[in-house]
């Protein structure tokens, strides 16, 4: 009985620490544009061969080029929680026009968080 408990404990410990060796999945911003206040975007998540249970995916936007705690994070519903490549899209109404926003996609997995490159999107209306 002690051997079975020790084996179960060892397997549990291995599973809990095993994912820490892997890099989080990567996310690439494929397209992002604004039409008036409406932001649309597409991103692709790619598995890096590690543990990739997708906990959350989405995008964030800011008035500044560098990510900070004041960024607005918006979660996109995860349709498939585990796969090698997954594309997701979003449409979102931004708070202001005549503004330049900085946008990036993100994915959270059990191995960590990954962000795409930051892209600028303008809601400036030309008259």
- Give the pLDDT band of residue 112 (cuts 50, 70, 90): confident
Query: Which residue in 33, 34, 27 sits closest to 87, CA to CA?
Result: 27
From 78, 77, 62, select the one nearest 119 (Cα to Cα): 62
pLDDT at 9: 59
Band (101; pLDDT cuts 50, 70, 90):
very high
Catalogue the E-assigned strands of 21-62: 26-35, 38-46, 54-62
Q: Which residue has the higher pLDDT, 61 or 1?
A: 61
What is the C-alpha to C-alpha distance for residues 89 and 65, in angstroms, rounded to an integer? 22
Would you identify the CATH topology of the domain 19-122? Immunoglobulin-like (2.60.40)
Mean pLDDT of 74-102: 78
Ordered by start, the domain boundaries in the chain are 19-122
* Torsion of the alpha carbons at 46, 76, 29 and 32, rounded to the nearest 10: 160
Give every CB contact of residue 71 below 8 A, 6+ residues apart in sequence.
60, 61, 62
Q: Burial level of 115, CB count in 10 A (0-12/13-18/19+)?
A: middle
Return the C-alpha torsion angle 118, 78, 83, 42, nearest 10: -40
Q: Quick one: pLDDT at residue 122?
A: 93
Q: Which helix (H) or strand (E) holds 37?
A: none
């Amino acid at each position: 009985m002690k051997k079975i408990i020790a084996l179960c404990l060892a397997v549990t410990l291995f599973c809990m620490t095993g994912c820490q060796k892997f890099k989080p999945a990567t996310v690439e911003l494929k397209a992002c544009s604004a039409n008036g206040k409406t932001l649309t975007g597409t991103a692709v998540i790619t598995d890096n061969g590690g543990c990739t249970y997708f906990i959350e995916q989405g995008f964030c936007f800011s008035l500044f080029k560098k990510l900070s705690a004041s960024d607005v994070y918006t979660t996109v519903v995860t349709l498939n929680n585990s796969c090698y490549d997954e594309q997701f899209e979003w449409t979102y109404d931004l708070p202001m026009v005549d503004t330049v926003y900085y946008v990036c996609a993100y994915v959270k997995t059990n191995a960590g968080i990954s962000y795409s490159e930051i892209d600028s999107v303008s809601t400036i209306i030309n008259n």
